[in-house]
Structure 1
Amino acid sequence: MVDLGLLVKKHRKKAGLTQLELANLAGIGKTTVFDIEKNKETVRWSNILAVLQVLNIEVEFKSPLTENG
C-alpha cells in the first residue's frame, strides 16, 4: 500500500513548492495540503485529486476481484 501523504510531500518538495504554493495551484486551502500529507481521513477526495493533478501524479484503480469474481 502507498503512503499517500509521503508521496505528495516528496513530489511537492521535488517540484520546489511550499504547502501554500501547492494549495494555491490546486485551488484548495493550505490546511488541506497539510492534512493530505498527514494522511488525515477527513480530506475530500476531490481535493486529493486536485493536488495529485497539480503534481502530475496519475491515479489508477485496480480491483482485487476478477471478472469472474
Structure 2
Amino acid sequence: MSGFNLGQFIKEHRKATGLTQLELADLAGIGKTTVFDIEKNKESVRWDSLKAILNVLNIEVQFISPLKK
C-alpha cells in the first residue's frame, strides 16, 4: 500500500461531493478539527471517527489479510 495517501483520498472525495470540512464534520457527527486531522494524515485520529467520515462519503473499506488460508 505504499504511495497511498488516505488523507488526500478523503479530501478529494469530500471536494467532489461539494462539502466543506465543517459540513462533512456535521454530517459525520464529529468535530471539524477531526476532519482536518484525517485529511492531514494525523496518527491520533480515532477509528470510529474515520469510519463516520467514510460512511458519509460512501467509501467502503475492505481489509484483506496477507495470510493465505
TM-score tier by shorter-chain length is over 0.9
Task: Name the amino acid aligned to 2:65.
Answer: S
The two structures have a TM-score, normalised by structure 1, of 0.95
7, 26, 29: which is aligned to 2:28? 26
Residues 1:65 and 2:38 are matched in the alignment:
no
45, 48, 63: which is aligned to 2:47? 45
1:58 Cα offset (Å) = 0.4
Note the aligned Cα RMSD (angstroms): 0.5
| Secondary structure of 2:25's aligned partner | helix
Task: Name the amino acid aligned to 1:37.
Answer: E
The two structures have a TM-score, normalised by structure 2, of 0.95
Uncovered stretches (5+) of structure 1, i.e. residues with no partner: none
Q: CA separation in 1, counterparts of 2:52 and 2:5? A: 17
Write out the 4+ residue segments of structure 1 that deviate beyond 3 Å after TM superposition: none
Q: CA separation in 1, counterparts of 2:67 and 2:35? A: 32
* Partner in structure 1 of residue 17 of structure 2: 15
Q: Percent sequence identity over matched residues?
A: 70
Uncovered stretches (5+) of structure 2, i.e. residues with no partner: none
